[in-house]
Structure 1
């Protein structure tokens, strides 16, 4: 499925809030090296994710069949197995590693992708101060 329209462009990005609803950020689709990517802008920090992660994450969550902890971590931090963050960088996922594309900014998959999935109508996300979870719709 093509999500370009729903996610928006650099000029008109989708405005989202982190799972705890504490910070706002934007997401849009752009092209890099001839490939569509997700561009996530958090204040002055810009992260890039492989756009394939949307379909792959939805498929994994459907197969999982229940709530899954988000477990958001920076790139250099270890992740907890069984979390969305761990899956987003695991050699076991469909692309065999990181969905984050920008060295030193490849983490936080479990923070910024779940609200996008919720906005696209693909998942439910909890909105607690900590320990948030998601599941496929």
Structure 2
């Protein structure tokens, strides 16, 4: 098998599973949801057919052809890693952002103290004690 045939067989869209080709977001979708992103990560992680195909081709390849197949697999893995990183960032952005519980408690105490009619120095002392206990 010559190098051109090896490259063509490895890089043909028909030779790769649809899961990898479908990792691009639809231009009509406003924003992917969590389940879509998780499915895509799972598909990328489960797709190993191209590695099996490359190993089968390596049995018959020598020299430059073998190096080319190895480079293709390596580049494909790098692409998959970057895609997973991107999808992970998108997933992190979709997760609800929660305030730190201590900060939320402090905000609530400040609201209560602001609404209560009492001496400002006393409010300050209460707030200081709360801050010392929380942090």
TM range (shorter): under 0.3
TM-score, with structure 2 as normaliser: 0.20
TM-score, scaled relative to structure 1: 0.20
Higher Cα Rg, which structure: 2
Structure that is richer in helix per residue? 2
Q: Highest relative contact order (Cα 8 Å, sep 6+), 1 or 2? A: 2
